[in-house]
Amino acid sequence: MTVPGFIIRNAFRNKRRLVLTVLSVALSLFLFTTLQTALRELTQPATSEASALRLVVRHKVSLGNVLPEKYESRIERMPGVQYCTKFTWFGGIYKDERDFFPQFGCEADKLFKVFTESTIDPTQLDDFIKDRTGCVVGSKTMQRFGWKVGDKVTLLGTVWPCDLELTVRGVYYGGLDESNLFFHHEYLDELMGKQGLVGTFWVRAENAAVVPGLIDRIDKTFANSDAETKTETERAFQLSFVSMFGNIKLLVGEISTVIVFTMILVTASTMSMAIRERTREIAILKAVGFNGSHIFGLILAESFGLAMAGGIIGCFGAWGLFNSLDIYSLSRGFFIRFEVTPHIIAAGLLVAVVLGVVSALLPAYTSMTKSVMEGLQELD
């Protein structure tokens, strides 16, 4: 009988307890991995070289306030600005409130000059620019609703007191959130009686070096006006939405701590029961020459094996599951992607390692401090 064989045989002595313990750890680490992935998707939006050049100009008070349309020409003339486009949230309802997807009014000829990462067929883009009631839609939303180019889409106004009758003129891929729908801002202006109101302006800077100065310049230009602005990078703008949910990091951190603590209790309880059943055997091992470090090593190896088995099943199970699911459809557009990264898997496995070590300490200490006579008498 080898030492590894002895450890494995002890672990499989009570198969039901072994399976339940491993599954408990696996389920807990699956939940841990899911929470960490959700936190990453919410707090670390994807960035690129092009997104680093984009700025968002909004009302200083809140996104619910609008800006005058005339600001656009003044922003475009500023040094360092390459393009500036109107960008207004519509927030309409398509058939049912649950069929949510983002909709924005924009300037068709500037949209893909600001968002250069996205690709669209040049013919479709030309059709979109020429059709005042046309729209372009991200590939995910096209797939979600089964739309085709040429389909009619009606959006019932909620934020704005008007309805949009749109025709799908094109599909874009990549870069931009592929769940968005873009229509002509001019069409919205006409329906609203040309009030000259804009939700935000999106700006593409000429290069990264001018971005900090451009932010200050824009806000200083409109300081002390009736509609002061707040200009921020695309990343900062995206993270501002996450802050509306409260302290997400603290919440996820507290839940993860509870999960880890519960796993420690479960595994430590399992090891304590297993060691209690083997008190006589451990005493015999001591009697034939096994010292305290040997006993500790045997118990630690068993506990570590249980925790790592559960960790591998839970972490890689989460990775396999979320890679095979269409998380965009399941979350109704809340999560665009749900990528379990190697870093998150490593964190989950590290938790399993700590779990295996910590849960073995008390049972091992109890076994090491008990004398041979006490061990032999306890189960006699």
Q: What is the pLDDT of residue 379?
A: 47
Structure tokens, 53: 């050049």
pLDDT digits (tens, 9 = 90+) for 211-227: 889 999 999 999 888 88
pLDDT digits (tens, 9 = 90+) for 49-79: 777 788 999 898 887 888 999 999 899 899 9
- pTM of the full structure: 0.64
Q: Is it the case that residue 380 has pLDDT exceeding 50?
A: no
pLDDT digits (tens, 9 = 90+) for 116-128: 888 899 999 999 9
User: Pairing between strand 181-184 and 103-106?
Assistant: parallel
Higher pLDDT: 252 or 85? It is 85
**Averaged over 300-315, what is the pLDDT?**
84
pLDDT digits (tens, 9 = 90+) for 326-362: 776 666 556 667 788 889 999 889 988 888 888 777 7
Long-range CB pairs of 276-285 (<8 Å, 24+ gap) are 277/13, 277/14, 278/10, 279/367, 279/370, 279/375, 279/378, 279/379, 280/375, 280/376, 280/378, 280/379, 280/380, 282/367, 282/370, 282/375, 283/370, 283/372, 283/373, 283/374, 283/375, 283/376, 284/375, 284/376
